[in-house]
Amino acid sequence: MKLNVDLPHIPRRRDGELMATRTVEDLLSVLTFLDENLKLNELPCYVTNKPDSMPSARLYEGDIIIIYSYTWYIIHEHTVEH
């Protein structure tokens, strides 16, 4: 894809406990940038006629902890005690 402007600076190193959050923020930054510069329609589109043949997403221990923490937060912070 050819751009007339430079992409925003995204650091390559993402270590620490907020790595997943920073990675998502980086992805959203790039998508926002592409949207603002009307380049989203130039992204490649991947399709398949056999979705059952596609590899499934693997959940690693760190991913499971994030999902568990978020679920715990929803259950404990958003329940109304009577």
Determine contact, residues 3/30, Cβ cutoff 8 Å: no
Q: Would you give the end-to-end CA distance of the chain in angstroms?
A: 56
Q: 37: Cβ–Cβ under 8 A, 6 or more apart, which residues?
A: 3, 4, 5
Q: Tell me, what's the pLDDT at 79? A: 59
Confidence of residue 1 (pLDDT cuts 50, 70, 90): low
Average pLDDT, stretch 48-55?
A: 83
Higher local confidence (pLDDT), 34 or 80: 34
- pLDDT tens digits along 65-81: 777 787 877 777 765 55
Q: 43: Cβ–Cβ under 8 A, 6 or more apart, which residues?
A: 1, 34
Asked whether residue 13 carries a pLDDT value surpassing 60, the answer given is yes
Q: What's this model's pTM, rounded to 2 decimal places?
A: 0.51
Distance from C-alpha of 70 to C-alpha of 24, rounded to nearest angstrom: 15
